[in-house]
Amino acid sequence: MTVTPHLDHSATAFRQLADEWQALLAEAAINHLFYTPVFLESWWQTLGQGQLCLVSWREQATDRLVGVLPLFIFVNDRHQRQLGFVGCKDVSDYLDMVIAPSHRQAVISSLAEVLTNQLPDWDQLILCSIPERSATLTELTRMGQDQGWSVHRVQQDVCPVITLPDSWDGYLNSLKRKQRHEIRRKWRRLNQVEHQFRLVRSPAELETNLETFIRLHQTSSAEKKRFWDDHHLAFFKLTTQRVAEHGWLKLYLLDVVGEPAAAMLVFDYHHQFFLYNSGFAPGKFAQLSAGNLLTVYTIKQAIELGRRRYDFLRGDEPYKLQLGGVPEPVCDLTISRSRQG
pLDDT digits (tens, 9 = 90+) for 255-291: 999 999 999 999 999 999 999 999 999 877 888 999 9
For helices 18-27 and 37-47, angle between their N-to-C axes, nearest 10 degrees = 130
First to last CA, the chain: 34
Residue that wins the pLDDT comparison between 251 and 89: 251
The helix (H) or strand (E) run that includes residue 181 is helix 177-190
Each residue's pLDDT tens digit, 286-305:
889 999 999 999 999 999 99
Side chain identity at residue 52, one-letter code: L
Each residue's pLDDT tens digit, 118-158:
998 999 999 999 999 999 999 999 999 999 999 999 999 99
The ranges assigned to domains in the chain are: 3-157+329-336, 165-307
Query: pLDDT class for 339, splitting at 50, 70, 90?
Result: very low
Output b/e per residue, 1-14; b: 16+ Cβ within 10 A.
eebebebbeebebb
Q: What is the pLDDT of residue 7?
A: 98
Query: pLDDT class for 160, splitting at 50, 70, 90?
Result: very high
Residue that wins the pLDDT comparison between 264 and 207: 264
| CATH hierarchy code of domain 165-307 | 3.40.630.30
Q: Do domains 3-157+329-336 and 165-307 have the same CATH topology?
A: yes
- Cross-strand partners of 176: none
Mean pLDDT, range 240-252, rounded to an integer: 98
| CATH hierarchy code of domain 3-157+329-336 | 3.40.630.30
